[in-house]
């Protein structure tokens, strides 16, 4: 087991967990929400699909590695190299790693963020970045992690630090005891139902209460892994004695856990009654569209996926085996099980769990992200209904079918029943099923070049009246292996209903105006660069996914927010003028103007240079 770690700092009063971590990594005595600070990064990861982009950025800009002992590749998206483009990118990363003495957690290792905790790379109070949008999963051990695009990661690798805007903090306190059969996954799904996809957007959230204190590390990982789906910067747990002991057993260097001060200031504080929580399921298409399992019990399914960074831990594997032991999967139903790390896979084998899985009829794959990242196992076909323990069920995210998100217990019970059910209601005879579906065409127009940037721009608008447009709608994960900017434009909005033909309609200089939480979800840089490839000039939204906004800023692509544009009476293809310095938008048709966000100093600096890496 690899071991490493770093010492941290003496406590500074009146701060939240995130503020203390940022203070200790920015040579500051205090930070305040909204302030932009340069943050030293302890652990710097790049995955197999983002890694090739990181390497490309480093080579293109002739940048060297700041500290290769803190720099790692993790091949968890396609841990078999079964896809030729993934295999190509993985080999590019291996070759670069050999030349620069960088450790590679190759296709036999497992999920990078889990390895960071299990290998003692990430410890309480540390900082971590990855091309994985669920890097904030290390909030489970009281560490600060962020998913970032390949440009951001290249900057972290070469400079050892990246800029970051200090977020406001929110405190959530659990009251009461969770009902029987309500799992950690059910807890986070109920939280997602309460706060939605953007109710905690941009906040660092701390979780407290008696039930929070006794959650195991595996349960904390399950909850923290879905911070991104809630729009949060992170879901942070104050480290418990058990978590501290675990982390100490995995690292060589002493560390000091970080805790918020009793009188720390929070933007909001909520009390949540766990006794009101139910066994929950996210309906296909949106993780926050959560309902009780009881509301959809009996829904026929075709397949089940147990795994991902949310539910691939040892505790999840044991629970799965307990439910499957002595039973068979329903005829025609496919059950796919993927442990999160190779260590967990080997433990399953040593304890006889693999035998239980196989006897029940399951397909067990080597460790990795699997279906969540278009990996080696877990994808579904047109018309296929899947119940999954993953953290996302955006349309097209895990294949062409429909995906319901649920707990391990619900998923395993449903695999036996052949339909969605709970572990206490598995029928003696399973149900039977049929399936069907259709494929969608992809538009492939010629790529257009972007015009020279100006501080005041003029262009025609496209109004997309929709909130929570996620990165899978903007740029589907099946195209993530594309690294050529010129090719990305033809896939823009290719998975957003009604806008699949946007590349053929878009003209150089166009501006997009849309709703809340644009760019929710993945850390993929492609979701920004596809608009750059088309020559689009800017995107205005009521709010952006945190990672998406960073990716746009760092690419020199204007991402601006507004509160209300109704007085402008805007219509599709109206011409507008946008002033980045003044923060205004004007409709040429009626000469009316409205205020929008102005460029911050760092945004203007990057925009004028055209790229973070050119600063």
Write the DSSP string, 268-337.
Answer: EEEEEEGGG---EEEPTB-TT-EEEHHHHTT-B-SEEEE-TTTS-SHHHHHHHHHHHTT--PPTT-EEEE
The arrangement of strands across the sheet holding 334-337 comes to 290-292, 280-282, 402-405, 385-388, 303-306, 334-337, 363-364
Alpha-carbon distance 416 to 334, whole Å?
10
Mean per-residue pLDDT of the chain: 91
pLDDT digit string (tens) for 78-91? 777 677 788 888 99
pLDDT digits (tens, 9 = 90+) for 379-412: 788 888 999 999 888 787 777 789 999 999 999 9
pLDDT of residue 433: 46
Q: Which residue has the higher pLDDT, 212 or 378?
A: 212
Distance of CA 439 to the CA centre of its chain: 26
Give the E-state strand segments of 48-198 in sequence order.
71-74, 103-105, 127-130, 144-147, 161-165, 169-175
Residue 270 near residue 208, CB atoms below 8 Å: no
Give the lowest-confidence range in 75-89, 416-430, 569-583: 75-89
Q: Which two tokens stand for residue 211?
A: 């039930």
CA distance linking residue 131 with residue 145, whole number of Å? 11
User: Strand (E) positions, 407-450?
Assistant: none
Task: Note the pLDDT tens digit of each residue in 461-518.
Answer: 999 999 999 999 999 988 888 888 889 999 999 999 999 999 999 999 999 999 999 9
For residue 13, name the pLDDT band (cuts at 50, 70, 90). low
- Poorest-confidence range of 295-304, 370-379, 526-535? 370-379
CA distances from 436 to 139, 163, 396 (A): 40, 48, 15
pLDDT at 328 over 70: yes
Q: What domains can be seen in the chain, in order of their start residue?
A: 17-276 (3.30.499.10), 280-417 (3.30.499.10), 456-614 (3.20.19.10)
The owner of tokens 């539910």 is 311
Q: What pLDDT was estimated at residue 81?
A: 66
- Measured CA to CA, the distance from residue 405 to residue 132 in angstroms comes to 20
CA triplet 343, 347, 350: central angle to 5 degrees?
140
The pLDDT score that the predictor gives to residue 490 is 95
Cα dihedral 189, 438, 362, 90 sign: negative
Is the four-CA dihedral 101, 105, 107, 109 of positive or negative sign? positive
Q: Given this model, what pLDDT does residue 453 score? A: 67
| C-beta pairs of 448-452 under 8 Å, 24+ apart in sequence | 448/489, 448/506, 448/507, 448/508, 448/533, 448/534, 448/535, 449/508, 449/535, 450/508, 450/532, 450/533, 450/534, 450/535, 450/536, 450/537, 451/508, 451/509, 451/535, 451/537
Chain centre distance of CA 65: 25
Residues 6 or more apart in contact with residue 463 via CB below 8 angstroms: 513, 514, 570, 571, 572
Determine the Cα–Cα distance for residues 430 and 412; give it in Å rounded to an integer. 13
Distance between CA atoms of residues 289 and 301, nearest Å: 18
* Residue 339 backbone phi and psi in degrees, to 5: -60, 155
Residue 377 has pLDDT above 90, yes or no: no
Chain segment 533-554, per-residue pLDDT in tens: 999 999 999 999 999 999 999 9
Buried residues in 350-376 as b, exposed as e (16+ CB within 10 A):
eeebbebbeebbbebbbbbbbbbbbbb
Residues contacting residue 420 through CB under 8 Å, at least 6 positions apart: 281, 293, 296, 297, 298, 299, 301, 387, 404, 406, 410, 414
Q: At what angle do helices 353-360 and 342-350 cross, to 10 degrees?
A: 80
> Average pLDDT for residues 17-31, to the nearest whole number?
95
Strands of the sheet containing 144-147, edge to edge, are 103-105, 71-74, 43-47, 127-130, 144-147
* pLDDT-derived band at 579, boundaries 50, 70, 90: very high
CB count in 10 Å sphere of residue 159: 16
User: Which whole-number Å values give the CA distances from 380 to 333, 377, 385, in the listed order?
Assistant: 12, 9, 8
Residue 347 confidence (pLDDT) above 50 = yes
Distance, in Å, from the CA atom of 24 to the CA atom of 194, rounded to the nearest integer, reads 33
3-class SS of residue 243: helix
Tell me the HSE value of 451 on the side-chain side, using a 13 A CA sphere: 14
432-476: pLDDT as tens digits? 745 344 334 433 343 333 444 689 999 999 999 999 999 999 999
For residues 504 and 445, what is the distance between their CA atoms, to the nearest angstrom? 6
- DSSP letters for 542-580: S-B-HHHHHHHHHTT--EEEBS--GGG---TT-EEEEET
Residue 11 structure tokens = 């406590």
At residue 375 the predicted structure's pLDDT band, cuts being 50, 70 and 90, is low
Question: Buried b / exposed e across 401-438, counting CB within 10 Å, b at 16+?
Answer: bbbbbbbbbbbbbbbbbbbbbbbeebeeebbebebeee
The residue ranking higher by pLDDT, 306 or 442, is 306
């Amino acid at each position: 087991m690899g071991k490493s770690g770093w010492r941290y700092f003496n406590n500074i009063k009146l701060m939240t967990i995130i503020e203390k971590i940022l203070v200790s990594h920015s040579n500051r005595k205090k930070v305040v929400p909204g302030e932009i600070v340069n943050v030293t990064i302890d652990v710097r990861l790049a995955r197999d699909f983002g890694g090739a982009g990181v390497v490309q950025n480093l080579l293109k800009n002739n940048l060297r590695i700041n500290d290769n002992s803190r720099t790692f590749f993790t091949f968890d998206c396609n841990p078999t190299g079964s896809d030729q483009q993934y295999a190509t990118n993985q080999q590019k990363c291996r070759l670069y790693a050999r030349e620069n003495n960088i450790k590679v957690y190759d296709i036999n290792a497992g999920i990078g963020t889990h390895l960071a905790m299990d290998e003692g790379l990430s410890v309480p109070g540390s900082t971590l970045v990855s091309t994985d949008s669920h890097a904030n999963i290390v909030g489970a051990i009281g560490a600060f992690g962020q998913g970032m695009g390949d440009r951001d990661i290249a900057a972290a690798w070469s400079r050892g630090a990246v800029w970051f805007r200090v977020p406001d903090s929110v405190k959530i306190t659990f009251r009461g005891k969770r009902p029987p059969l309500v799992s950690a996954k059910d807890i986070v799904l109920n939280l997602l139902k309460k706060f939605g996809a953007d109710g905690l957007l941009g906040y660092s959230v701390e979780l407290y209460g008696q039930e929070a204190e006794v959650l195991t590390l595996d349960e904390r990982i399950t909850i923290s892994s879905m911070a991104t789906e809630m729009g949060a910067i992170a879901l942070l747990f104050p480290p418990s004695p058990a978590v501290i002991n675990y982390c100490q057993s995995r690292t060589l260097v002493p560390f000091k856990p970080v805790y918020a001060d009793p009188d720390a200031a929070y933007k909001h504080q909520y009390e949540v009654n766990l006794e009101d929580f139910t066994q929950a399921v996210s309906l296909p298409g949106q993780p926050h569209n959560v309902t009780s399992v009881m509301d959809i019990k009996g829904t026929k399914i075709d397949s089940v996926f147990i795994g991902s960074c949310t539910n691939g831990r040892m505790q999840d594997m044991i629970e799965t085996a307990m439910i499957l032991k002595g039973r068979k999967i329903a005829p025609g139903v496919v059950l796919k099980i993927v442990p999160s790390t190779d260590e967990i896979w080997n433990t399953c084998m040593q304890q006889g769990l693999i035998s239980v899985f196989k006897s029940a009829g399951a397909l067990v794959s080597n460790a990795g992200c699997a279906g969540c990242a278009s990996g080696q196992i877990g994808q579904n076909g047109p018309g296929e209904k899947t119940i999954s323990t993953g953290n996302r069920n955006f349309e097209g995210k895990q294949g062409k079918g429909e995906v319901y998100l649920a707990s391990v217990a619900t998923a395993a019970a449903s695999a036996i029943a052949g339909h969605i059910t709970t572990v206490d209601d598995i029928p003696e005879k399973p149900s039977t099923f049929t399936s069907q579906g259709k494929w969608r065409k992809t538009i492939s127009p010629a790529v257009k070049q972007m015009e020279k940037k100006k501080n005041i721009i003029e262009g025609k608008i496209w109004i997309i009246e929709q909130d929570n447009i996620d990165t899978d709608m903007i740029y589907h994960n099946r195209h993530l292996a594309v690294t050529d900017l010129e090719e990305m434009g033809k896939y823009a909005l290719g998975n957003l209903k009604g806008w699949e033909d946007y590349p053929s309609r878009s003209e150089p200089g166009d501006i997009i105006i849309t709703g809340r939480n644009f760019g929710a979800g993945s850390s993929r840089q492609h979701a920004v660069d596809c608009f750059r490839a088309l020559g689009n000039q800017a995107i205005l939204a009521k709010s952006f996914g945190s990672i998406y906004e960073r990716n746009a800023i760092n690419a020199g692509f204007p991402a601006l927010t507004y509160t209300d544009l109704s007085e402008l009476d805007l219509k599709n293809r109206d011409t507008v003028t946008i002033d980045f310095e003044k923060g205004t938008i004007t409709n040429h048709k009626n000469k009316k103007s409205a205020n929008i966000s102005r460029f911050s100093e760092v945004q203007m600096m990057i925009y004028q240079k055209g790229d973070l890496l050119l600063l």
